A and B are shown apart, each in its own frame.
Chain A
Amino acid sequence: MFLVWHCNVYRPMKAGWGSRFVMKKQRPEKLAFFLKRAKWQELRRKRFRLLRRAKRIAKILNGADDKGEWVTLYNNGNFEFARFEGNRKAAPAKLNLFTNYEESIGFIRMVREGLTAAGSRSPAQPNRKRRRASAKGPKVIRSYWDFTTIEEMSPNVALMLAAEYDRARRVGGWIPKAVSYERWKPNVRSLLNGIGFLELVGIHDRGDPYLDVGNSRILRFRSGDEANGERVDELLQTLTSIDHPELYDAIIEALTNTLHHAYPPKERLLPDAVRSWWLSGMLDRKSGRLIISAYDQGLTIPGTLHTWSKYRRFSRAFKRLFRVDPDPADTSRDGAAIALAMSVGKTSTGREYRGRGLPAIEEPLELSSDGQIVIYSRCGEYRRRKGQRGRVETHATPVNGTLVIWDLIVGGQP
């Protein structure tokens, strides 16, 4: 092996007959790549050292002391120790809407309620007792969401979780610190890192638009309040190298629907709602599986059907199916309501020429080799696999808003 010298970066060169020592001047973009890679490697080493240190100290502290448990709190790329005395809220082992819907949504709702309640409280004033306690000893925490119990997490749940924290940050300017991050499972850490969640909880500021983990490329979530084609195209280009006009159209239509219907100006929204959408994606390069999720926290599809001008048509179809008039407050037939809305294909604005949004969401399925489209809205679930008819389900626990998932097999390598 020989080493090639160029601008402070050593690169091994394969030896062979006739190979010689070469001094080669590298192109500026290549040099920028080497510098960026060196920076990443340094950051990775630093993070690893930090985690190892936290793990070691927590172990020593927990071994030496039987009064409560010691946990690590992460903030702005650093960590501190705190004594935990109270009630731990463990996350389910499987956070996946496809395989464990009720528990996953239940946990996200618990996080939302906790963040909303904490955001509405005024910051605690340190009284004399508290000041003395903090001067004397370590910080004490009474409750936290335990992420160490999570074994498996799907990208769409990660997006919903990131959206909740992002909402809390934007509304109240406050988000809880990550607790015992060094004990989270590596796959959960990678997914939350890739999607941008770790930045929200102050672990580190990655700043990159995506993260490559093994065969997967995870895209950092983006959020906005308009149907911005540039951001959607950037997302698709980062994941796949080829153009996907049908997918572009479907995502833009989903975002346009969100702007027109999910957050109507005159309607009362959920407490602390942010009029925004959240978008993320993940590509498995080996299988060509592309998962894109678009999420909003608005009034949901079944919740806004009664404002359609074509509501009479929808209502007639609903009555034919169930022998009762549709009730906007009734969540027991939300799955069927979404399926009917897809087939009626009208939006809630009441003009004849509008209402192409929902059917357009399904179009990429026809042009992909395999996959499925899933829509969760309030308690309803609408799922259609390639070559099959739509299947509906109604759950007991509602999603806070609407989540659209395109889970497709596509070509193109990033």
Chain B
Amino acid sequence: MNARMIKIADDFSRHPGGRFRKDGPHSGEAFRESLLAPAIASSDEVVVILDGVAGLPPSFLEEAFGGLMRPPHCFTASRVAGRLKIKTDNPRLRRYSDLIDGYIKAAGKASAAS
């Protein structure tokens, strides 16, 4: 099985924020396009480790994870949910795992409806 591990704090930035590239240097769009979407497309399992980040603002998370279901990627929500695993040892970051699940489901529903 082909697995890929992404530690946001080390592989991307400790300070993620902003939705689009124009919002800032470490936006959700940049994370999705540079790391997440290629990993989902090429791996059977993608483990995203949240430990070490200063925070994960909702617009960053929505654009990074919900954006996988929108053009140009257009993955299905079941494919993303099946391949993606969120890990953290920090209890203060655990709530982000539920948020990410919610964004994937909502984006999947919205893309199916359209």
Contacts and interface: CB of A to CB of B under 8 A. Distances in A.
B is bound to A? yes
Interface in B6-57: 13-19, 22-27, 53-57
Interface stretch (A4-12, A31-39, A144-152, A251-259): A251-259
A256 B54 contact: no
Interface string A220-246: 000000111110110010000001111
A229 B17 contact: yes
Given A227-B23, A243-B54, A259-B23, A354 B17 contact: no
Contact of A353 (B15, B17, B107): B107
Interface residues of B, number: 30
A284 interface: no
A249 B58 contact: yes
B58 A226 contact: no
B55 A249 contact: yes
B56 A249 contact: yes
B17 to A, nearest CB: 4
Chain B binding surface, main DSSP class: loop
A330 interface: no
Contact of A229 (B16, B19, B93, B110): B16
Interface string B55-74: 11111101000100010000
> Which of A226, A227, A245, A246 has the most C-beta atoms of chain B within 10 angstroms of its own C-beta?
A227
Given A245-B93, A248-B54, A230 B59 contact: no
Contact of B55 (A252, A259, A354, A357): A252
A354 B110 CA distance: 12
Given A252-B17, A252-B57, A228 B62 contact: no
A356 interface: yes
A354 B93 contact: no
Nearest to A224: B24
> Which of B18, B25, B27, B93 has the most C-beta atoms of chain A within 10 angstroms of its own C-beta?
B18
B100 interface: no
A228 B18 CA distance: 8
B24 A228 contact: yes
A235 B59 CA distance: 21
Contacts of B60: 252
A161 interface: no
B86 interface: no
A259 B59 CA distance: 13
B106 to A, nearest CB: 7
A111 interface: no
B97 to A, nearest CB: 13
Nearest to A259: B23
Contact of A233 (B14, B25, B62, B93): B14
A248 B53 CA distance: 10
B14 A253 contact: no
A203 to B, nearest CB: 33
Closest 8 pairs (CB-CB, A-B): A229-B15, A248-B55, A245-B55, A229-B17, A356-B58, A227-B18, A252-B17, A227-B24
Given A229-B15, A249-B56, A256-B19, 17 more contacts: A228-B17, A229-B16, A229-B18, A229-B55, A233-B15, A236-B54, A245-B55, A245-B56, A249-B57, A252-B17, A252-B55, A252-B57, A353-B62, A353-B103, A353-B107, A356-B59, A357-B59
Interface of A: 226-230, 232-233, 236, 243-249, 252-253, 255-256, 259-260, 352-354, 356-357, 360
9 contacts: A226-B18, A227-B57, A230-B15, A243-B55, A244-B55, A249-B58, A255-B17, A259-B22, A357-B58
